[in-house]
Structures are given as C-alpha cells and as structure tokens.
Amino acid sequence: MKKVYTCFCTDVIHEGHLNIINEAKKYGEVYVGVLTDEAMIRFNRFPAVSFEERVEMVKAIEGVKEVIVQREIMYDKVIGELKPDYVIHGDNWKSGTMKAIRDNVEKLLKELGGDRQIIDVPYTYNENVKRIDAKIKEKLAMPEYRRKRLRQLLKLRPIVKTIEVHSGLTGLIAEKTVVEHNGEFDQFDAMWVSSLCDSTAKGKPDIELVDMTSRFRTIDDVMEVTTKPIIFDGDTGGLTEHFVYTVRSLERMGVSAVIIEDKTGLKKNSLFGTEVAQTQDTIENFCEKIAAGKKVQLTDDFMIVARIESLILERGMEDALERAHAYVKAGADGIMIHSRKKDPAEILEFCDKFRADNKQTPIVVVPSSFNTITEAELAEHGVNIVIYANQLTRSAFPAMEQTAKDILKYHRAHEVDSRLLPIKDIISLIEEL
C-alpha cells in the first residue's frame, strides 16, 4: 500500500477536511499529522480546543490509518520518517505564506526519490466553512477565553511577543500579520495598549490625560476585530481607590493583564528619563496598590504586573531589585523592568540578579531604546514577555506626513499612489459579518 500524508491545523473537522481524506484514500493508506499547540500558534491561531481533543477528532475520521504528531510547521521530520508516496493538501498553499511549506514539501519528496508527488485538491471555502471559521474566532475573542490566554502563552512560548495597538486597524495588523522567514513562521502573540500611543493617536501628551473611559473605548475597538490577548498600560494605576475599579473593569472586558508603574503625581513618559521631574512611589504605597488590585480580582486569569522605574530614574540596581522582590511579595504576577539606555547591559544585569532569587515570576521588557538585543537573548536571561511598545505608531507617522507633503508639493495624489495600499486591499482587509 502507498502512504498518503496530510497535516491538519484545525479545531473542527468540516467538509473540506473530509474531502481531503476521501481524495487521499484513492491513493493509499492515509496518515494525518496534527500540529502541536506550539506550532499552531506560530502559523495559524490559538487553538480553540486542546491538542488531545484535536488528535481524537482526527482519529475518529473514517479511513485514517494513523495520527502523527507534527511539532514543526515544516514537514522535514515527518517526511523523513514516514517517507510518504503522496502529500495531499488544499490548493490554497500554492500562494501566500503557505507557499513556502509547499515548496519545501516538493523539495523533500524530490530528495527522497521515486514517483513521490504532491496532490493539490481544490480548497473548500464555502459559506458553511466560513461560518464555522467565524464561530471559532468569536469563541477565541470572548472575554473568558481571551483573558486566560496570556497565562497559556507564557507556558507555550519561549518569549511572548507583544505589539502596540491603539485602534481597530492596528489591532488587525497585530492579529493578522504572519511571516515566513528562512523556513520559520511567526506572528505576534499579544497586544499592548500603550498609554503613549493611545494618547499620541489622540494628539495628547502621555500624562494620564486621556481618561479611562476613552482608554477602555480603545480596548473595545481593538477587541471587536481581534482574538489575541491584551496587556493594558495602566500608567500609575492612579489612586488605589480608583485602581481597584480599573482592575474589575479590565477583567470583565477580557483583558489579560495590566501593567502599573511605581510613579506618583503627574506621570510623564519614561523615555524622558530624568529630563523631567518624576516622582517614584514608596515601596510601601506601591505594594498596597498591588495588593488592593489583587484582592478585588475575581478570576485567577488576570495578571497585575508591577513596573519598576528605578533604572529610568537612576536610583540604581539595588533599589530596582529590592522593589521587584517587594512587589512580588505584595502579589504582583509579573515584573516589568524599564530602561532608556541604548545598551541592554543594565536590563540584563537586573534579569540575571532577579532570576538568581526568583525563577518563576514573569519578567517583561520594552526594548525601545535597547533595541539591538534579540528575543532569543532576552529569553536566555529569563525574560518572558517582550513588548514592541510604539513602533507601529512611529512608522505610520512619517509615512503619513510624507504623503501629505507630496500631495501638497505636486498638487495631486498621483505621485504618492505607488506607495499606497491599493483600494481593493483596504476593502478586503476589513471582514464583513
């Protein structure tokens, strides 16, 4: 009997999958790969059902000889071990990022020799499949599912990659951008609702001037069109008496975490450093704020992350470490350490020293200034979450400004057209219900 292999990356078996299986049966015995959670979240979206359930689901399909655990998006290992005669897949992998997978499979089959072949079957994407797909996305976006996802990702990812969002549109970029680079697939895991960018988008300074109602409105806009978890920049958290209400609201909305910084009074953006007057809170006060927030939270999912400004305010490493341990003791679910130095040395020193005494508590960093360090290097020093806090806003502004300048210069829009998103693409970017 010939061997036919296909790989499924799905939460539901629908007519499209059954069609592939039925086609496959015509060629030989059918082996089906099921992508692990780790691989699925890099390639597709967060699984709506567990890996074990997905395996059982595939096993139950009539005509499946064996289920194979596929740990990598690329098929090298499976093809090397199974040596299939055919690999069958929907023909949607002939274009887009998935084309790299098909090209690789083609190469692997050729290397194995013989008459090994790819079978492309017409991809099924009818109204019924569309409805199933939309339903899964709706489920992933529901507060009770979305809220816990950050904690789930902390277990699945070596480092949780988070990108700034401040609107539905930036949310869509965070949600949908997937790249294939040198055979590796990747996408962002989570979204950061930055106070700097939320304020900047409204033409306001980052001084806690944009009120919570407006910040929540931004979260809502993002949530309406995305499924990924949200980390909210809570600035100082305000008065403890107010912070407890913020925690309740965020938790109810389905936000996964709030990060509050240990400053008081008129907060200014940390990237000003000591160029502007900023007051750091006492350890005691800030611990009380953390503890009050933890006390009112209703689920085990939500996280309160304490952000330490000691390095920004040049108060020294010892102060930063003392605060980190105190904040964890007060109940913080994570520590964010910030720096505005170009050199990541002080951040790494903090991480190493903190990790020497605390192996568990997640560490969050925002490498806006120390941007030469890679995610892998940060992970090696015990960092769990990396936040790209402002790059979308900073890239959009010069592009928009240049377009405005050029339209003024040429008295028409023709000269800028080649750098614009085609009208048909902007229309198809937004999905209608």
Return the bridge partners of 5, or none. 31, 87
Residue with tokens 């289920």: 67
- Based on the shown chain and the rule CB under 6 A, indicate whether residue 389 belongs to the binding site for ligand SPV: yes
Complete edge-to-edge strand list for the sheet that includes strand 117-121: 64-70, 29-35, 3-8, 86-90, 117-121
Considering only residues 134 to 163 of the shown chain, the ones binding Mg ion according to CB under 5 A are none
- Based on the shown chain and the rule CB under 6 A, indicate whether residue 152 belongs to the binding site for ligand SPV: no
In whole angstroms, the minimum distance from the beta carbon of 157 to ligand SPV comes to 21
Residue 318, both tokens: 């010892």
Asked if residue 7 lies in contact with residue 75, where contact means CB atoms within 8 angstroms, the answer is yes
Selected from 6, 10, 170, 195, the binder of ligand SPV by CB under 6 A is: 195
The window from 106-114, 172-180, 267-275, 289-297 that contacts ligand SPV (CB under 6 A) reads 267-275
The window from 174-182, 191-199, 401-409, 421-429 that contacts Mg ion (CB under 5 A) reads 191-199
Distance, CA of 192 to CA of 166 (rounded, Å): 8
The window from 150-158, 190-198, 317-325, 409-417 that contacts ligand SPV (CB under 6 A) reads 190-198
Backbone phi and psi for residue 264, each to the nearest 5 degrees, phi listed first: -130, 170
366 makes contact, choosing from Mg ion, ligand SPV, none, with CB < 5 to 8 Å by partner type, with ligand SPV
Considering only residues 76 to 105 of the shown chain, the ones binding ligand SPV according to CB under 6 A are none
Asked if residue 393 lies in contact with residue 197, where contact means CB atoms within 8 angstroms, the answer is yes
Which residue in 239, 173, 245 sits closest to 216, CA to CA? 245
HEC-encoded secondary structure of 3-30: EEEEEECCCCCCHHHHHHHHHHHCCCEE
Q: Which residue is nearest to Mg ion (CB)?
A: 195
Selected from 55, 132, 271, 379, the binder of ligand SPV by CB under 6 A is: 271
- Based on the shown chain and the rule CB under 6 A, indicate whether residue 194 belongs to the binding site for ligand SPV: yes
Give the residue numbers marked as catalytic: 206
The window from 71-79, 238-246, 268-276, 416-424 that contacts ligand SPV (CB under 6 A) reads 268-276
Asked if residue 24 lies in contact with residue 86, where contact means CB atoms within 8 angstroms, the answer is yes
Nearer to ligand SPV, 151 or 394 (CB): 394
270 makes contact, choosing from ligand SPV, Mg ion, none, with CB < 5 to 8 Å by partner type, with ligand SPV
Residue 254, both tokens: 């389905």
In whole angstroms, the minimum distance from the beta carbon of 210 to ligand SPV comes to 11
Asked if residue 261 lies in contact with residue 267, where contact means CB atoms within 8 angstroms, the answer is yes
In whole angstroms, the minimum distance from the beta carbon of 314 to ligand SPV comes to 15
Selected from 6, 10, 218, 390, the binder of ligand SPV by CB under 6 A is: 390
The window from 148-156, 216-224, 238-246, 264-272 that contacts ligand SPV (CB under 6 A) reads 264-272
Return the bridge partners of 119, or none. 88
The torsion angle over the Cα atoms of residues 116, 16, 188 and 419, rounded to 10 degrees, is 90
Say how many residues touch Mg ion, by CB under 5 A. 3
Asked if residue 354 lies in contact with residue 324, where contact means CB atoms within 8 angstroms, the answer is yes
For 20-35, letters b (16+ CB in 10 Å) and e give bbebbeebbbbbbbbb
Nearer to ligand SPV, 20 or 231 (CB): 231
Residue 243 to residues 125, 239, 251, 260, Cα–Cα distance (Å): 46, 6, 12, 10
Backbone phi and psi for residue 315, each to the nearest 5 degrees, phi listed first: -95, -5
- Based on the shown chain and the rule CB under 6 A, indicate whether residue 233 belongs to the binding site for ligand SPV: yes
Distance, CA of 356 to CA of 351 (rounded, Å): 8
Nearer to Mg ion, 97 or 264 (CB): 264
The window from 38-46, 194-202, 372-380, 404-412 that contacts ligand SPV (CB under 6 A) reads 194-202
In whole angstroms, the minimum distance from the beta carbon of 407 to Mg ion comes to 33
Considering only residues 327 to 386 of the shown chain, the ones binding ligand SPV according to CB under 6 A are 366, 368
In whole angstroms, the minimum distance from the beta carbon of 235 to Mg ion comes to 6
Nearer to ligand SPV, 72 or 235 (CB): 235
Q: Give me the 192-221 binding string for Mg ion, x by CB under 5 A, dash otherwise.
A: ---xx-------------------------
Nearer to Mg ion, 227 or 270 (CB): 270
Nearer to Mg ion, 195 or 200 (CB): 195
Q: Is 396 exposed, middle or buried (0-12, 13-18, 19+ CB in 10 A)?
A: middle
Residues that bind Mg ion (CB under 5 A): 195-196, 233
Residues that bind ligand SPV (CB under 6 A): 194-196, 206, 233, 269-271, 366, 368, 389-390
